Copies of this chain bind each other. A is one copy, B any other.
Amino acid sequence: MSHNTFGKLLRMTTWGESHGPMIGAVVDGCPPLIPVTEAEIQVFLDKRRPGRSRFTTQRREPDKVRIVSGVFTDEESGNQVTTGAPISLIVENTDQRSKDYSEIKDKFRPGHADFTYQQKYGIRDYRGGGRSSARETAMRVAAGAIARKIVPAMDIRGALVQIGPHSIDYSRWDWNEVANNPFFCPDCEMAKLWEEYLDEVRLSGSSIGAVVEIMASGVPAGLGEPLFSRLDQDIASGLMSIPAVKGVEIGAGFAAASLTGEENADEIRIKNGAPDFTSNNAGGILGGISTGQAIIARFAVKPTSSILRPGKTIDKFGSETEIMTKGRHDPCVGIRAVPVGEAMMALTLADHYLRHRAQIGKGV
């Protein structure tokens, strides 16, 4: 992990600003001979794309991805496959409205990176948030689409499980519902309530936080490294690297603080000839290493900091002032964080899959 690079053996480096000519990612260390097309990647980008419903920012970007290196046509199959060389992905920025930036050029929007970027670097590209814009996450989703293909049998899915005070009912969880509403909500009852609630938030010019849950199934036992590249540690690192995330938990998570040893213990039995756990408070990870159960992680997303109400702040000259962020924003940025969370999970697991192969010498 370093500056703008994520991963150790499968490495994603993202670059680009919200209002520059383009954004991109370089995915390095990918195994060769993996079939990959722009269309496959586009499917995931489209899930994250803004403007899909009235609950996400109205910025209109086609977000068309181009693969400009690292693939070649396999003569035998006729498929376009990876060659083992770095895969360069590019998305052009098309909707860079020539706004008036005088309002945010010198003032620090509360809750944004404006203040800290200026403190650290002494300069910042303020147009649309520049480098700190959530637009960067489009490239994570694109890179994640490649990562998904590296681990055979792995399936990664995400869902929104809480908006503001309204949590889903886990007993109603239905993965099929996730695609049926604009919230990636697995509980169709709750989706209805959210629609009403979020309209209210949106129309009042406010915003609200959320919780996302990511599940990875088909992950073999044995992935992870002891102590300082624990699988749970690196998943936490990946999810916490998503803008606006303020908390991460694995399995029972914070609820484990209230459990006794008996309640928390996931006992082990043999089922169909294979080890099987009677519960999954561990979230599929013990001692930093995957158990073969589903890996479960959740992360909390803070409310969008840009709201249609004036807030107290200072400017870069050290004077007190007020600011109100106009423009197109997500009332609940947690919604679009779902495909981003899936991508970070995929990248983390694929990286560990390669690391495992290195030390142990075989796939798992």
Given contact pairs A111-B261, A206-B260, a sample of 9 additional A-B residue pairs in the complex whose CB atoms are under 8 Å apart: A4-B85, A14-B86, A17-B69, A72-B130, A83-B124, A111-B264, A120-B356, A246-B253, A268-B312
Which listed segment binds B: A48-56, A179-187, A280-288? A280-288
Q: Given the known A-B contacts A4-B85, A13-B28, A267-B312, are A164 and B227 also in contact in the complex, defined by CB atoms under 8 Å? A: no
Q: Given the known A-B contacts A23-B69, A305-B261, A312-B268, are A33 and B115 also in contact in the complex, defined by CB atoms under 8 Å? A: no
Chain A positions 80 through 95: 1 when the CB is less than 8 Å from some CB of chain B, otherwise 0: 0101111110000000
Chain A positions 116 through 141: 1 when the CB is less than 8 Å from some CB of chain B, otherwise 0: 11011111110000111000100000
Is the CB of A278 closer than 8 A to any CB of chain B?
A: yes
B15 touches A260 (CB 8 A): no
B359 touches A354 (CB 8 A): yes
A125 touches B72 (CB 8 A): yes
Chain A positions 1 through 21: 1 when the CB is less than 8 Å from some CB of chain B, otherwise 0: 111111011010111110011
B83 touches A125 (CB 8 A): yes
Number of interface residues of A (CB under 8 A): 153
A32 touches B360 (CB 8 A): yes
Bound-complex Cα distance A131 to B20 (A): 28
> Which residue among A84, A162, A234 has the maximum number of chain B CB atoms within 10 Å of its CB?
A84
Which listed segment binds B: A37-45, A169-177, A188-196, A296-304? A296-304
Bound-complex Cα distance A208 to B9 (A): 38
B222 touches A120 (CB 8 A): yes
Residues of B within 8 A of A30 (CB): 359
Is the CB of A294 closer than 8 A to any CB of chain B?
A: no
Which residues of chain A from 321 to 335 have any CB-CB distance to chain B below 8 Å in the complex?
334
Q: Given the known A-B contacts A240-B232, A307-B261, are A28 and B9 also in contact in the complex, defined by CB atoms under 8 Å? A: no
Q: Copies per complex?
A: 4
Least CB distance from A55 to B in Å reads 15
Residues of B within 8 A of A282 (CB): 111
Q: Given the known A-B contacts A83-B121, A237-B237, A290-B116, are A254 and B211 also in contact in the complex, defined by CB atoms under 8 Å? A: yes
Is the CB of A218 closer than 8 A to any CB of chain B?
A: no
Which residues of chain A from 239 to 268 have any CB-CB distance to chain B below 8 Å in the complex?
240-241, 243, 245-268
Which residues of chain A from 133 to 171 have any CB-CB distance to chain B below 8 Å in the complex?
136, 162-165
Write 26 A-B pairs (CB below 8 A) sorted by A numbering: A3-B28, A3-B228, A4-B26, A4-B28, A15-B88, A24-B68, A32-B359, A33-B123, A83-B124, A84-B359, A85-B125, A85-B226, A110-B267, A112-B286, A208-B259, A209-B264, A232-B246, A236-B237, A236-B240, A246-B251, A261-B309, A263-B303, A264-B303, A269-B320, A355-B358, A361-B363
Residues of B within 8 A of A253 (CB): 246-247, 300
B266 touches A256 (CB 8 A): no
Is the CB of A203 closer than 8 A to any CB of chain B?
A: no
A69 touches B261 (CB 8 A): no
B233 touches A237 (CB 8 A): yes
A249 touches B246 (CB 8 A): yes
